[in-house]
A and B are shown apart, each in its own frame.
Chain A
Amino acid sequence: MRTVKSRTSGLTESQFGFLLVVPAIAVFAVVMLYPFVSSIVMSFTNRSLLLPGQSFTGLDNYRDLLADPNFLGVFYNTIVFVVAGTFFPFVLGLIWSIVLQQGFKGSSFLRSLTLVNWVLPGTAIGFLWMWVFQGNYGIVNGMLTSLGLIDQHINWLGSTEYAMLVVTVAATWKGIPWFMAFLFGGLLSIPREHIEAARIDGAGNWTVFSRVVYPALKPVMIIVILLGAIGNLQLFDLFWVMTEGGPARATTTLAVEVYRSAFREWNLGKAAAIGVVWVVLLSAFAFFYLRGMRDEVK
C-alpha cells in the first residue's frame, strides 16, 4: 500500500482512493443494502401499505406462499420466460453477429440500426408488439388470415395460452441487439491468424466454428447468457405494459408478482417473502457468475 502523503490536503493515497468510492458506497447503502436487509425482516411481518402498524408473523407469509396454487404458476412462468427469453435472443444475436461480421456493404449501418431497438423505451416496445399482435387489427392476424393459416383472429394477449408467447417475442426482439453487441465484439477479437492457420490445415466452415470460434467465444457467451438471464429475471416493463401480468396471471413472473402483491394487494409482507425466495434461488446463479467474474476482478 502506498503511504506517500500527497499534496492534497494531507491525505495518503489510500485514503484519497477510498474517499473517491464513498459516494458510490453511500448510494449503494441507501438503495441496495438497507432495502435488502429490510425486505428480509419485512417478510416475517404482516406489513401492509394500508395501515401503519406491523407485527411479526413468523413464517406465515412463506407458508401461505407454498400453499398458494398461483405461486407455483408464477414460478413456472418465470422459469419459462427466463429460459426462452434468454435462449432465443442469444441464438438469433449470434447468427446476426456472424452475418454482420462478414463485413459486407451496409453491415455497419445494419449494426447501428439493430442497436436502436435496444435504446427504445420498453413502454414503446410494449405498445408496438401489442399493436402487432392486436386481436382485431394487428398485422400478425392480418397476415395469418390472408395466408389462409387461420379462419378466425386470435386474441393473442387475451388468451392464457398465447400471451406469454407474445411477450417473449417482444423480449426477444428487445434483447437481440444487446446479445449481438457483445458477441460481435467477441467475434472481432478472435485473431485472424488462428483462423488462417485452421484453413491452411484444411478446415471447413464448421470446423473453424467449432475448433476456433466457439472456444474463443465461450467466455463471452457465458457472461452474456448469465447477464441476459439475470436481466430477464428483473424484467417488468414489457409485462406490465402488455398484460399487467394477465390474463389470469398467465404472464405473471416473480417481478410482476412482487409488484402486484405490494402495490395492488397492499401486502408488503407477502411481497417481501416472494423476494426472499427469489434471492435464495438467485444464489445458485450467483455462484456461477462469481466464478466467471473472479478473473475480471484483479
Chain B
Amino acid sequence: MFEKTRSFRIFFWLSLILMILFLFFPLYWMINTALKPAEEVFTIRLFPANPTLGNFIEVLKSWEIRRYLENSLVLSVSSSFFATVVAAYAGFSFSKYRYRGRKSIMLLVLMSKMFPYAVLLLSLYVLMQGLGLLDRYASLVLAYITFTLPVGCWTLKTYFDEIPDDLIEAAKIDGAGQWRILHTIILPLALPGLVSVMIYGFVWSWNDLLYSLTLVTSPEKRTLAPGLIMHYLGEVQQDWAGMMAASVTVSIPVTLMFLLLQRFFIQGLTAGAVKG
C-alpha cells in the first residue's frame, strides 16, 4: 500500500521493532519467569540458567487450581454452546424473517453492549439471592449468553445474509419445513460463523471475573479468574513465579483453541464491521 520511501522505511522498521518488543516481550517474560527456579526469580536474567518445570508442577499439584480449571471448562463449554444456539436462532430470525418489532429488537440487542455490566449485576445478584440460585452456574450461563448476544447475533446475521434466498425457496418447494431447513441446510453453511461465535463465547466465559466472582462463591464451584485471585493474592502472597506459571497454564486452553480455529474467528468477527 505504501511506497518504500526513506521516511516510510524508517517509520516501518522503528514501528516493527518497537511493537514487537512491546507486544511480545511481556509474553516471553511471563514464560521466562515461570521457568525460573526460586533463586533466579528475582534476577533480571533474560534466560534462566537452570530452567525448571517446578513452578508448573506446583500449579498443577494444587487441587484448587485443578478444580478451578475443571469448573471453568465445564462452564465455558456449556455457556458457549448455548450462547451460539441462542445467537444463531436470533441471527437467522433477523436475517431471513420479518415481523413486528424486529428492528427494535435488533437495535436493543446491539445496544446492550453499552449497559453497564457492573450495575446489572446488582439486581441480578438480588434476584438470584431471592430465587435461591446463588452459587449456581445457571446464573452465569444466562449472563454469558446475554453478553455475547450482540456480537454473536451480528456475526451470524452477516453469515446468514450471504446465504441466497433461492436456496431456501428451493428447499421449501421440495417440501422441507422451516425447522428442517434451518438445521440441515443453513447451519452447516454458516459453520465458520458458528465456530467463531462459540470461540467468542468460550473466551468470554473463561476470562470473566466480575460475574463469576460475585455470583458463585463456594470454593468448590469457583472458576479460574476469581480462583487465581483468591489463591495468589489472598492466601499465598508474592509467589511471582507461581503466578506466572499459573497465568501461562490458564492461558493455554484459550490460546490453543484460538490458534487452531483463528481462521474462522477473525473472519467471523471482522466481517460484520467491514462489510457495507
Contact = CB atoms under 8 A, between A and B. Distances in A.
Q: What secondary structure prevails in chain B residues at the interface with A?
A: helix
B177 A132 contact: no
Given A23-B89, A127-B243, A96 B15 contact: yes
B110 A293 contact: yes
A204 B172 contact: no
B255 interface: yes
A25 B270 CA distance: 25
B3 A204 contact: yes
Contacts of A185: 266, 270, 273-274
B86 interface: yes
Interface string A115-142: 1110111111001111110101101001
Nearest to B92: A20
Contacts of B94: 21
A139 B276 contact: no
Contacts of A67: none
Interface string A252-265: 00111011001100
Interface stretch (A58-66, A68-76, A158-166, A231-239): A231-239
Contacts of B175: 7
Nearest to B203: A119
Contact of B122 (A39, A187, A204, A233): A39
B122 A268 contact: yes
A34 to B, nearest CB: 7
Given A32-B146, A96-B15, A124-B250, A275 B110 contact: no
A180 to B, nearest CB: 10
Contact of A115 (B22, B42, B93, B258): B258
Contacts of B224: 121, 123
Interface stretch (A79-87, A148-156, A278-286): A278-286
A128 B102 CA distance: 44
A7 B175 CA distance: 7
Interface of B: 1-3, 5, 7-8, 12, 15-16, 19-20, 22-24, 26-27, 29-30, 33, 41-42, 44, 85-87, 89-90, 92-94, 96-99, 101-103, 105-127, 142-143, 145-147, 149, 153-154, 172, 175-180, 182, 203, 206-210, 213-214, 224-225, 228-229, 232-233, 240, 243-244, 246-248, 250-251, 254-255, 258-259, 262, 265-266, 269-270, 272-274, 276
28 contacts: A6-B177, A8-B178, A24-B89, A42-B123, A98-B1, A98-B15, A119-B207, A119-B255, A120-B251, A121-B247, A122-B207, A123-B250, A134-B240, A173-B23, A181-B269, A185-B270, A220-B274, A234-B117, A236-B210, A240-B210, A254-B118, A255-B118, A258-B118, A262-B122, A271-B122, A282-B114, A286-B114, A296-B110
Given A7-B178, A98-B2, A131-B240, 6 more contacts: A96-B15, A184-B270, A189-B274, A234-B116, A255-B117, A297-B110
